Amino acid sequence: MRIVLIQPNYHSGGAEVAGNWSPAWVAYLAGYLKAKGGYTDIRFIDAMTDDMSEDQLRAALADEKPDIVGTTANTPAIYKAERVLEIAREMFPNAVTVLGGIHGTFMYQQVLREAPWIDAIVRGEGEEVFLNLVRSVDQGQWPDARGQVKGIAYGEGEKVIATQAEAPIRDVDDIVADWGVLDWKKYIYIPTGTRVATPNMARGCPFTCSFCSQWKFWRDYRVRDPKKVVDEIETLVKEYKVGFFILADEEPTINKKAFIAFCEELKARKLDVLWGINTRVTDVLRDEDLLPFYRSCGLVHISLGTEAAAQLNLDLFHKETTVADNKRAIDLLRQNGIVTEAQFIVGLENETVETIEETFQLCMDWNPDMANWSMFTPWPFSDLYREMGDQVEVHDFSQYNFVTPIMKPKAMERGELLDAVMSCYRRFYSKKAIFSYPWVPGDKVRRKYLQGCLKAYLRSAMKRQFYNLGKVGYWGPHTIKKVKFAFDRSRKLEQTPDEAATADWKSASKRKQEEIDAGIRAYKEAGQPLDATQNQKAASAKVMACGGGDEQMSEHAMLSAMGGCGSGTDQQLSEHEMERAMKPCAKGEEPPLEEADARR
């Protein structure tokens, strides 16, 4: 049986400005199919990296003659993914077409109605579900017994059927990637000029930021054995000549013990590789004394979700840090030779030219090495959308890419918003290019890395790819009124995800949901940005960890939640236990976990 996996050809001028990222989903899916099912005839077509036209995709597919065609899609790539499977159906009417990814997981009803040529949507974590689907096809049980395959959705006449959810894979060490399925010469990270990989150490996130849905998609938080993660990285470095990797975890430092064990193992093997992560400000502050050690293990780049200048916006996104903490975290990283990247979200309903300028000045005060300003994007399946959805007038999901202003602020036109953001980029990187990057003292690795990052930005800008500027026709302030975002206004949101149909999917706890709702109400009631006095008060507010409370999750609770990695159990904490575990340990004592102890 031949299985063909395809990366749809979607580009937006966002993260891809740094190079061509190796698609990890393919490696993990192929590895699981081979190890657990014995399916070895797996081919991969990277239409995105190769920037394939539809005719080129047809030619590539014609050579493969697939029995099953699978693709994936986040929200902005959904139409491209639907078209990939439509082409596959036109060419091979008997092939089974399958879609995976976060958008289909929650928006399966709309996807199946607008793309009836899709035979099945894999909902959530894909390896076990897709393996069972492949077995069903291989054994001649498809489509008659498709209702017995857990974790999928499919169309049946006028109905859309969602089967019972498949349980998350408890032992994530069972998922061993087959990185050999990729053509590695294609995947180059411009800042280092080396091959780049995106392995993961954990799946999911125990926290519930209102703008994010990754915690819903993965449902449970599970951590791999750090030594096995380093085994994978050693393979990537030695067999596939990877010179840079980013841990693709939502927050790889959440589990301090596991992260330290990973760093120790990586350092002990003396792998000549640099790497980066995304993490939380609270974790940087927690690990202040460990930052020199992290840097000695090759960690050279940390991206921080600082999010917004106004503390009100931080509260809205349920990112429980303060603006003062963000500045301190950036200072600590810089002092320890780690490149800092600050992420800002702009474009909410109450955005103005003045608030964007305030964000820029705050960024200059913090002085990160790099900065990104992303357009607020209301995922239709996020908690935030539930309250703000009536304000969203654009439902062309191809534009939900963090660089297109989906929301129109009350006091700004979309072109003005884009111009204000570009002004931030121009001023920030002009100053860095002249006064900072060429003169980074002491650390040659950090200096070379930053100069490589500048090269990536300039290259993208020269090609008019950065932020989709060439596509929308932006050339500077004089073109504000000529900018065309070309929204497809015929696209409509049929309905938000059916709450009843997704009742078996993870949702925020009652306490957490109340906190999210409070943040959204505060935003709505304010009606305008916080002034300087309010920001000062917010900056001095008590530090809160991302998951609630004024402390990090205790080691005892985290080990219990992991199920493995030293805990001696394959069970996870219940929501009740998780909430109790998140309470502060004021005297350094572990919180009581009678239920978890009894289970073990």
pLDDT tens, the chain, 600 aa long: 999 999 999 999 888 999 999 999 999 999 999 999 999 999 999 999 999 999 999 999 999 999 999 999 999 999 999 999 999 999 999 999 999 999 999 999 999 999 999 999 999 999 999 999 999 999 999 999 999 999 999 999 999 999 999 999 999 999 999 999 999 999 999 999 999 999 999 998 777 666 666 777 878 889 999 999 999 999 999 999 999 999 998 889 989 999 999 999 999 999 999 999 999 899 999 999 999 999 999 999 999 976 554 434 545 554 455 778 888 999 999 999 999 999 998 988 888 999 899 889 989 999 999 999 999 888 888 777 777 767 888 999 999 999 999 999 999 999 999 999 999 999 999 999 999 999 998 789 999 999 999 999 999 988 898 999 999 999 999 999 999 999 999 998 876 665 555 555 555 555 555 655 665 565 455 554 444 344 344 333 333 334 333 334 445 544 544 443 333 333 343 444 434 433 333 333 333 333 333 333
What are the structural domain ranges in the chain? 3-162, 187-482, 510-599
- What string of H, E and C letters represents the secondary structure of 456-468? HHHHHHHCCCHHH
**pLDDT of 385:** 76
The answer to whether the beta carbons of residues 94 and 101 sit under 8 Å apart is no
**pLDDT of 577:** 40
**pLDDT of 21:** 96
- Cα 10 off chain centre by: 16
Class of 187-482 per CATH?
A: alpha beta
Element (H, E) at 223: strand 222-223
- Long-range pairs for 441-448 at CB < 8 Å and ≥24 separation? 442/337, 443/337, 445/274, 445/300, 445/337, 446/300, 446/337, 446/338, 446/339
Which residue, among 177, 225, 218, has the nearest Cα to 201 in the 3D structure? 225
Alpha carbons 333 and 349: distance in angstroms, whole number: 33
Alpha carbons 378 and 579: distance in angstroms, whole number: 27
Element (H, E) at 217: helix 214-218
**pLDDT of 442:** 78
Alpha carbons 409 and 420: distance in angstroms, whole number: 13
Beta strand pairing status for 152-156 and 120-122?
Answer: antiparallel
| AA letter at 208 | T
Q: What angle do CA 495, 499, 502 make, to 5 degrees?
A: 110
Residue 124 DSSP label: S
234: CB partners within 8 A, 6+ apart: 269, 271
**pLDDT of 572:** 40
Which residue, among 302, 374, 296, has the nearest Cα to 333 in the 3D structure? 302
**pLDDT of 594:** 33
Alpha carbons 160 and 296: distance in angstroms, whole number: 53
- pTM for the full model? 0.85
Alpha carbons 97 and 119: distance in angstroms, whole number: 5
Which tokens belong to 7?
A: 């990366």
Backbone angles phi and psi of 98, in degrees to 5: -135, 135
Backbone angles phi and psi of 64, in degrees to 5: -95, -35
Which residue, among 373, 351, 347, 353, has the nearest Cα to 428 in the 3D structure? 373
The answer to whether the beta carbons of residues 44 and 69 sit under 8 Å apart is no
The answer to whether the beta carbons of residues 306 and 344 sit under 8 Å apart is yes
**pLDDT of 315:** 54
- Long-range pairs for 467-475 at CB < 8 Å and ≥24 separation? 467/13, 467/14, 467/403, 467/418, 467/421, 467/422, 467/425, 468/12, 468/13, 468/401, 468/403, 468/404, 469/13, 469/422, 471/13, 472/404, 472/418, 474/415, 474/418, 474/419, 474/422
**Same fold for the domain at 3-162 and the one at 187-482?**
no
The CATH number fitting domain 3-162, selected from 3.40.50.2300, 3.40.50.1860, 3.40.190.10, 2.60.40.1250: 3.40.50.2300
Q: What angle do CA 489, 494, 500 make, to 5 degrees?
A: 155
Q: What angle do CA 202, 207, 209 make, to 5 degrees?
A: 120
